[in-house]
A and B are shown apart, each in its own frame.
Chain A
């Protein structure tokens, strides 16, 4: 691939460096969370972060037009991977969400589905020249795009990822505007389905999670335990925190999933309000920056891709942090770039890579052509 000098000149160093900072803070945080027990997680994650960064940088040089062209192929491959998970996946604590690649590497296809769905939806809206607001019939095709992976993920089952996918694609659909009448109609259908869903589709533990969210102290040693311990960890960090690697909640393992879903509680405990707020600002900076990229996009496809990736970061951040600080139910949603996990790290960095690629190509080619 030939490198265009303009690409380097216009390179989005700000997004790149902010992403790198967040990943490094996340790694340091993971180090503190695991050095007492098993640094293997830290080492593995460090490796994933390096691989993901290389992938991110490489992707930024790929023309997003290529992605547009292959978006449907990518989507189909990711759905096939989901099917593969269900047939020959590896079961971890009750859900089949992983496929093994060799003996050490496992990937979680549901993470990548987020990106492929963003691409395919962006492509769908790009090809549509009406430009909304859309009626109910216009929503059928995107609903099929969304429904297929959701159904497969619910079968695993992975409630958290399904929820995030609904939130991301829902944001995209709403952003493209839906007729008020259709919106109300949709709302009625959702409410109508929620009753049988509660009774027939939700597993007991899932109901328990929702109940626990309403009152975590109802079952303080069972399903409410994590929520309470996490709030204690966050709250006890106070303004300045207990210090790096000195968070007792973290170090004494009062929060069972502090490596993954509860990673944010570690920084909140050890660095206090200052550290937690700093991290939150980093995330919102990234989101706002991607949103800014979206608003300056040259075409609808790149705009929607950026918007989708922004909403992916947004929902992951809000749902995860909201859970850690006790304002949202405990669902297995990782904090991108912070939580341990190769697939989510790759997904996040690939997403940023795509945005980088779009950002550096937003400038009209003509100006550069003149300069050259």
Chain B
């Protein structure tokens, strides 16, 4: 077959070339890119199962749980393991009481995208549902039950307004906290939000060997290169709040709308902080549903607003403390100065009324404070003038943030420049007069009033209010320890403060005092009532236009420990409505003190 010799040579060359191409490709895949493919094969068979970390707890000053954790059983479906979609959705809908369409659309959306990623079907199912699913596990290979941790609120709504609520992590949360995943819950308000970085735990993981069907397999040879990491619980945040006092304050305010602030005048630690009405943090555990959220933000009683730190109100007569301090410091009055109160004060053509139409007659500073005579303070502020008065308003911390570690608003500290800037208008002298009794443009949060009161009580230190005492890691080490911080020292001296304090003691203890409802036998209470007009004096009888009732106080008068401010929205007279609330809280305070717990 000599004539085919050349053909055989050609064929042999083709053969050798083909061999070289195949061998070359093997060399390329196995030697040049072997490490890369080795990683691929590792990723292929190793499924990383996340071990979710519980959030840190939130404790009261005595270490009692205010927010704790409990397990939540969440149902996921792994699309790639679905055998019979109809059976799956029917079963889940029957067991979980969910809409079939809803489940189907969720799964179908996932099937189009990543079939290897579990789809969340239901969160926090109950024990009965769990048992029903476990019983059907054999016929539902795609169903995964993941045990997560979720918030537990042993005291219900207690403290909700400052503790805050949780929500699903947003894009910006994911950027801010790299350790979290899309369906993690993060703090959206209150302490949960401001201490998120500490409360957040560190998720762990377990690597599992799975076969191509995603089924877990156990095989020693593959298990030796598995890794895992335990999850680390978030740090516990220990509040300066005292659970008992908080409860007492909430009970004392009761169903009324308003706020209560209890601070330690020596440290600035917040012992209780109430805002009512409030929301139920349990509604947010699984991420609030749209309907409920809409209801909450459309609620005319503003349950999401923390009235204690964000609610802005005219301070009313409690503001007379500032007027008195300014008058004394500026030498406009001294302790003996007297003014005559005929029940009204005239400025040009305008008449400003005293709350007591018959008038108080001749009153000195102490009497003016005790009886809360408006005309006296009209006179003082008229002599001061807006410019001098404005510096004292600022001095006492109004119009500025207090630096508390939850949401707050600064309020308004009015001045000539402020009005020009805000309204492009001149200042009228009449506006100064009403500001002398805490009406007009000035407004403040109950927290600011409480801090002003503390400053009077502690000798002039405007403290930074602190919700948190310390942060403790799960291993027991203290990560953060808050020490008292002075934001600002008042420009008025102790002599002036003593004069005011004398008046404040009289408010509660003198027979003619407006705050007698706060009087206690066991302890001398000092305080100041306030009745802040919502609209023009005496206009309208509607509940919404009733005055806000204020009472701010400290105790014991001789050696102050605690300041309490109460504001009841549309409550009426401060002495009648707010003072008894303070009294009720102080009674509990005394009991706690006797037990050595405060």
Give residues in A with beta carbon < 8 Å to B.
131, 175, 177, 221, 229, 231-239, 246, 248-249, 251-256, 268, 272-273, 276-277, 280, 284, 287-288, 291, 294-295, 297, 299-300, 303, 307, 314, 318, 321-322, 325-327
A288 x B26 contact (CB < 8 A): no
* B298 sits at the interface (CB 8 A): no
* B3 sits at the interface (CB 8 A): yes
Is the contact region of chain B dominated by helix, strand, or loop, or is it mixed? helix
B213 x A253 contact (CB < 8 A): yes
B33 x A248 contact (CB < 8 A): no
Contacts A291-B11, A318-B18 given; does A252 touch B30 at CB 8 Å: no
Within 8 Å by CB of A303, from B4, B26, B30, B213, lies B4
* B297 sits at the interface (CB 8 A): no
Measured CB to CB, the closest approach of chain B to A144, in angstroms, equals 24
Contacts A232-B41, A253-B212, A295-B4 given; does A237 touch B25 at CB 8 Å: no
- How many residues of chain B get a CB closer than 8 Å to chain A's CBs? 42
Contacts of A249 in B (CB 8 A): 41, 44-45
The 9 closest A-B pairs by CB, nearest first: A235-B37, A238-B34, A236-B41, A252-B211, A273-B30, A235-B29, A254-B212, A236-B37, A236-B38
Measured CB to CB, the closest approach of chain B to A124, in angstroms, equals 16
Contacts A248-B222, A254-B45 given; does A295 touch B5 at CB 8 Å: yes
A284 x B15 contact (CB < 8 A): yes
- B7 to chain A: closest residue by CB: A175
Interchain CA distance A131-B4 in the complex, whole Å: 10
Within 8 Å by CB of B38, from A238, A276, A277, A294, lies A238
- A297 to chain B: closest residue by CB: B1
Interchain CA distance A233-B221 in the complex, whole Å: 17
* B217 sits at the interface (CB 8 A): yes
Is the contact region of chain A dominated by helix, strand, or loop, or is it mixed? helix
* B115 sits at the interface (CB 8 A): yes
Contacts A235-B40, A273-B30, A314-B15 given; does A327 touch B21 at CB 8 Å: yes
Contacts of B1 in A (CB 8 A): 295, 297, 299-300, 303
Measured CB to CB, the closest approach of chain B to A43, in angstroms, equals 23
B30 x A272 contact (CB < 8 A): yes
Contacts of B210 in A (CB 8 A): 252
Contacts A177-B7, A280-B19, A288-B15 given; does A273 touch B26 at CB 8 Å: yes
Contacts A238-B31, A248-B41 given; does A325 touch B15 at CB 8 Å: no
Contacts of B87 in A (CB 8 A): none
B29 x A231 contact (CB < 8 A): yes
- A231 to chain B: closest residue by CB: B29
Measured CB to CB, the closest approach of chain A to B291, in angstroms, equals 37
Give residues in B with beta carbon < 8 Å to A.
1, 3-5, 7-8, 11-12, 15, 18-19, 21-23, 25-27, 29-31, 33-38, 40-42, 44-45, 80, 115, 209-213, 217, 219, 221-222
Interchain CA distance A294-B37 in the complex, whole Å: 41
Contacts of B209 in A (CB 8 A): 252
Contacts of A284 in B (CB 8 A): 15, 19
Contacts of B3 in A (CB 8 A): 131
Contacts of B11 in A (CB 8 A): 175, 291, 307
Interchain CA distance A18-B71 in the complex, whole Å: 64
Measured CB to CB, the closest approach of chain A to B48, in angstroms, equals 16
Listed by A's residue number, 27 A-B pairs whose Cβ atoms lie within 8 Å are: A175-B4, A229-B44, A231-B37, A232-B40, A232-B41, A235-B41, A238-B30, A239-B30, A248-B222, A249-B41, A253-B211, A253-B212, A256-B212, A273-B31, A276-B26, A276-B30, A277-B26, A280-B23, A291-B15, A295-B8, A303-B4, A307-B11, A314-B18, A318-B22, A325-B22, A325-B25, A326-B29
Contacts A280-B23, A297-B1 given; does A234 touch B29 at CB 8 Å: yes
Contacts of A307 in B (CB 8 A): 11
Q: Using A232-B44, A233-B41 as known contacts, list a sample of 14 further A-B pairs with CB atoms less than 8 Å apart, ordered by residue number in A.
A: A131-B3, A229-B212, A232-B41, A246-B221, A248-B42, A249-B44, A252-B210, A252-B211, A252-B212, A253-B211, A268-B30, A276-B30, A326-B29, A327-B21
Contacts A252-B211, A287-B15, A291-B15 given; does A325 touch B29 at CB 8 Å: yes
Contacts A131-B3, A318-B18 given; does A235 touch B34 at CB 8 Å: yes
